[in-house]
A and B are shown apart, each in its own frame.
Chain A
Amino acid sequence: MAIITTTLTMPVTGERIHHASDLELARAAAAGDSAAFEKLYEQHHRRVYSLCLRMLGNGTHAEDLTQEVFLQVYKKIGSFRGDSAFTTWLHRLTVNQVLMHFRRRGVKLEHTSEEGDFTNVVDTPLQSTRRISMVDRLALEKAISQLPPGYRTVFVLHDVEGYEHEEISSVLDVSIGTSKSQLHKARMRLRELLTKK
């Protein structure tokens, strides 16, 4: 496929950076324009970091993984064609990096332990009418970080990031039924964690 050489070879400088679209910045970065790459980082690094933080539950690991993600962005930016939004492309790359991180560490998402994870959590009986109070954001973030990796991954992708079960099943290579089941279990665990006295 032919490239638009004029766009690629002209660096995106100064005022143009401020108003350049993600596609323009990506093309410039692919051509070696470091200012364009830095701009992409400025615009997107928080979202990448937040996703890593919530999936991994650990700030240090999340920063390390964010670093790896942007390194992959730099290496693969030439393959971004603008077929999808840059955020979609970046998001998918981030999720893949998180999953590879889990695999490298032998974290088995599909074998989530059902026992012994929450020995301190009050098991809310089916018939209890107790409700969680107004959800405290910090308490919710902490509770998410306490979920087992499999539950946490599906919950973050679905409820926080807005993925559909079809996309989750494709990304995680599980059935749609498994994705739905994991999501429900994650939500119920969060409820238990948030009602703990």
Chain B
Amino acid sequence: MVCKQCQELISEYIDGGLELGEQSNVERHLAGCEPCRAVRDDLLQIVHFSQQLPVQSPSRALWPRISADVTELQPSLWTRTLRSLAGFQALKFNFSVPQLIAGAAALAIIISTGVIISRRDNGPAQLAGVSAVTPSDVTPLSQADLQQLEKQINQLSAAVEQRKEAWDPELRTAFERNLLYIDQSLVECRHQLKDNPADNVSQELMLNAYREKVRLLEGFEKF
């Protein structure tokens, strides 16, 4: 083993990630090579001290800025009153009030976008100097369509669950892996819509992901 090879493996050697054969080769080389031992010792020091770096503190002015941001996000007294009157706290949902408001706003945006787009001409959008991204020519879904899609997904999922036990393990793994990818994307879309209900790109991607889930389930339902 030459020094170049040894030094390329030094990090993995330090981290205990080498196979026994390679580890032996490195150790044999280190036993007879002071420059490579110098590299090893230096990297050990770097790793050791990096693990002990202390936490740093931001300025005292940071908390008041965060507190001010958070205050702006808090629901108004009127909203809190409305919630208590409607008995929202008694509902067994796992949403906070900001999330409920964001969800309702997202649905309203989807419906109103559907109305607006259906009245617009088709054609490529060329907007100069506009920061918001215009939706592509995707057929928007109404709330009823969204519910229909979810119902279809539930039915297909139930049908697939019944058949899944008889599948080849490789087939089952392929299905579950790809279902997970789609569900992860849906979760990410929902998070982004909670942060910004007016995010029309996330809306479009979420609807697309739902359609993709239907495609996956329909594809595997036939097995």
| A 131-146 binary contact with B (CB < 8 Å = 1; else 0) | 1101101001100100
- In the assembly, what is the distance between CA of A23 and CA of B188, in Å? 23
Task: Write out the residue numbers on chain B whose beta carbons fall within 8 Å of the beta carbon of A71.
Answer: 66, 69-70, 73
Task: Write out the residue numbers on chain A whose beta carbons fall within 8 Å of the beta carbon of B89.
Answer: 5, 8-9
* Chain B residues within 8 Å of chain A by Cβ, number: 53
Cross-chain contact B58 with A126 (CB below 8 angstroms) = no
Q: Does B50 contact A (CB under 8 A)?
A: yes
Cross-chain contact A46 with B73 (CB below 8 angstroms) = no
Output the least CB separation between B222 and chain A (Å): 32
- In the assembly, what is the distance between CA of A72 and CA of B192, in Å? 11
Q: Does B132 contact A (CB under 8 A)?
A: no
Interface centre among B38, B59, B75 (most CB of A within 10 A): B38
Interface centre among B43, B56, B63 (most CB of A within 10 A): B56
Comparing A14-22, A29-37, A101-109, A115-123, the segment that makes contact with chain B is A29-37
| Closest B residue by C-beta to A127 | B35
Q: Does B96 contact A (CB under 8 A)?
A: yes
Cross-chain contact A180 with B3 (CB below 8 angstroms) = no
Output the least CB separation between B51 and chain A (Å): 7
Q: Does A167 contact B (CB under 8 A)?
A: no
Output the least CB separation between B202 and chain A (Å): 14
Q: A76-B191, A126-B3, A180-B11 given as contacts; is B57 within 8 A of A49 (CB)?
A: yes
| B 100-125 binary contact with A (CB < 8 Å = 1; else 0) | 00000000000000000000000000
Output the least CB separation between B213 and chain A (Å): 21
Task: Write out the residue numbers on chain B whose beta carbons fall within 8 Å of the beta carbon of A129.
Answer: 34-35, 38
Q: What DSSP secondary structure best describes chain B's contact surface?
A: helix
Cross-chain contact A78 with B94 (CB below 8 angstroms) = yes
Q: Does A94 contact B (CB under 8 A)?
A: no
Q: Does A183 contact B (CB under 8 A)?
A: yes
Task: Write out the residue numbers on chain B whose beta carbons fall within 8 Å of the beta carbon of A53.
Answer: 56
Cross-chain contact B66 with A140 (CB below 8 angstroms) = no
Cross-chain contact B70 with A34 (CB below 8 angstroms) = yes
Cross-chain contact A74 with B73 (CB below 8 angstroms) = yes
- In the assembly, what is the distance between CA of A159 and CA of B44, in Å? 11
Q: Which of A8-60 contact B (CB under 8 A)?
A: 8-9, 30-32, 34, 37-38, 41, 45-47, 49-50, 53-54, 59
Give B contacts to A, CB under 8 Å.
3-4, 7-8, 10-12, 17, 34-35, 38-39, 41-43, 45-51, 53-59, 62-63, 65-67, 69-70, 73-75, 80, 89-90, 92-99, 191, 194-195
Q: 19 other contacts beyond A188-B7, A191-B42, with CB at 8 A cut-off?
A: A3-B92, A8-B89, A32-B74, A34-B74, A41-B63, A47-B55, A49-B56, A66-B58, A67-B66, A75-B194, A77-B96, A127-B35, A128-B35, A128-B38, A132-B45, A135-B46, A140-B53, A159-B50, A180-B12
Give A contacts to B, CB under 8 Å.
1-3, 5, 8-9, 30-32, 34, 37-38, 41, 45-47, 49-50, 53-54, 59, 62-63, 66-67, 70-72, 74-79, 126-132, 134-135, 137, 140-141, 144, 155, 159-160, 162, 180, 183-184, 187-188, 190-191, 194-195
